[in-house]
Amino acid sequence: MKLLIFDIETLKEMFLIGIYEPSTDMYFEFEISAERDELHSFISFTETHSDCFWVGYNNLRFDSQVVEWILRNAEEWYSYGSLELAAMIAQKAADVIHDANYEVLPEYSEHNLTLKQIDLFKIHHYDNKNRRVSLKRLEFEMDLENIEEMPVHHLKENMTFEERQLTRDYCKNDIMATYEFYKITIGDTTHPLYRGNNQIELRMDIQEEFNIPCLNYSDSKIGDEMIKKYYCEEKRIDYKDLPKKGYFRKSIAVKNCIASYVKFQTPLLKSFLERMKGASLGMQDDFKEEIHFYNNVYSFMKGGLHTENSPKIFEADDEHLIIDWDVSLTIWRN
């Protein structure tokens, strides 16, 4: 798989796209500013790298939308100066951000994009509002040496050479951080939770075997789509005929959410299971059930299962690691 790691900066007086090619360890920059107009050089670059996957962070919702708009409209911009172009692109970027904030669907869907995208933000389900993680926070979590904030305001006028250089350095730093996160995503890391776990390869295998275009799906969405696929096959219906979202219930009987094979031997858990099967969940109710089991308190709430623990301090040392486990999708392959 041929990869390009990329990021864009959209200032009023400067458009910049930085691109890192891991296979050659080469870094490319294309700039539109008072001193440069590399628009057509960038378009030529995309044409010669059309077989590459463009890897970014939140690029499906932002970067790829701006780039696609440029690729589709650049032929009409021959009469504009470089500062006019930079301002036009900056305004488009602001519009894209505005639409995203109000959950307006992106102008260009993934399958209509000119450049093939890999979005690490979506793969790791960071587009979920309860899991949202910025690239800066991610850089901190990866313990990277250099974590930068944007050094120049996006509406800055009369940008100096030094300010443009600061912007270039900032963009390259974000791109290299994205590449480090990509390596974690494919299991190229010493971290015991991620080492050898290639999430991109897994998605490509699922895509090939099950014909589900899941390259940029989160684990939970892959599971959801696989259930829909097998449901359609079992019911002999087309995917498009599945019930549409938007049907609202006043309450849910909890027994309908518990699989028939769930059974317990312990009297306490058997009693708890029967109590739960008799409960109903109102859509607006605060739901909480708890059970005391082996000196632990387990709470069942709308968000899932939680333990209620008293404050403690855990410290890693040479013999012990602190590992936070969560549920994820596992596909066994021969």
Chain centroid to Cα 52, Å, comes to: 19
Q: CA 8, 54, 202 angle in degrees (round to 5)?
A: 135
List of residues 6+ apart from 66 with CB closer than 8 A? 8, 10, 89, 92, 93, 96
Give, in order, the Cα–Cα distances in Å from 313 to each of 140, 316, 318. Answer: 22, 10, 17
**Is residue 239's pLDDT more than 90?**
no
**pLDDT band for position 333 (cuts 50, 70, 90):** very low
Q: CA 206, 229, 208 angle in degrees (round to 5)?
A: 20
**Is residue 326's pLDDT more than 70?**
no
**Is residue 330's pLDDT more than 60?**
no
Q: What is the CATH number of domain 3-185?
A: 3.30.420
Which pLDDT value is given to residue 215?
97
Which pLDDT value is given to residue 178?
98
The average pLDDT across 316-322 equals 87
**pLDDT band for position 329 (cuts 50, 70, 90):** very low
Q: Which residue has tokens 């970067």?
A: 63
Q: Which residue has tokens 């590459």?
A: 52
Work out the number of other CB atoms within 10 angstroms of the CB of residue 312: 5
Q: Who wins on pLDDT, 237 or 326?
A: 237
Helix or strand or coil: residue 19?
A: strand
For residue range 182-219, what is the model confidence (pLDDT) as tens digits? 999 999 999 888 999 999 999 999 999 999 999 999 99
For residue range 135-159, what is the model confidence (pLDDT) as tens digits? 999 898 898 988 899 999 999 999 9
- What does the alpha-carbon distance between residue 297 and residue 294 come to, in Å, rounded to a whole number? 8
Helix (H) or strand (E) holding 87: helix 82-101
Whether the CB-CB separation of 3 and 200 falls below 8 Å is answered with no
**Is residue 247's pLDDT more than 70?**
no
Looking at the chain, which runs of residues are DSSP E strands?
3-11, 14-21, 26-33, 53-56, 116-119, 251-253, 280-282, 288-293, 296-301, 304-308
For residue range 274-312, what is the model confidence (pLDDT) as tens digits? 988 988 877 666 778 888 888 888 888 766 777 877 787
Chain centroid to Cα 195, Å, comes to: 20
Helix (H) or strand (E) holding 220: helix 219-235
For residue range 80-111, what is the model confidence (pLDDT) as tens digits? 999 999 999 999 999 999 999 998 999 999 99
**Is residue 328's pLDDT more than 70?**
no
| 25 φ/ψ sector (left φ>0, alpha ψ -120 to 50, else beta) | left
The average pLDDT across 246-264 equals 81
For residue range 22-67, what is the model confidence (pLDDT) as tens digits? 999 999 999 999 999 999 999 999 999 999 999 999 999 999 999 9
Domain span(s) for CATH 3.30.420 in the chain:
3-185
Strands 116-119 and 53-56: parallel
Which pLDDT value is given to residue 283?
64
Work out the number of other CB atoms within 10 angstroms of the CB of residue 185: 19
Strands 296-301 and 288-293: antiparallel
**Is residue 236's pLDDT more than 80?**
yes
**pLDDT band for position 253 (cuts 50, 70, 90):** confident
Work out the number of other CB atoms within 10 angstroms of the CB of residue 167: 23
**Is residue 248's pLDDT more than 80?**
no
List of residues 6+ apart from 37 with CB closer than 8 A? 82, 85
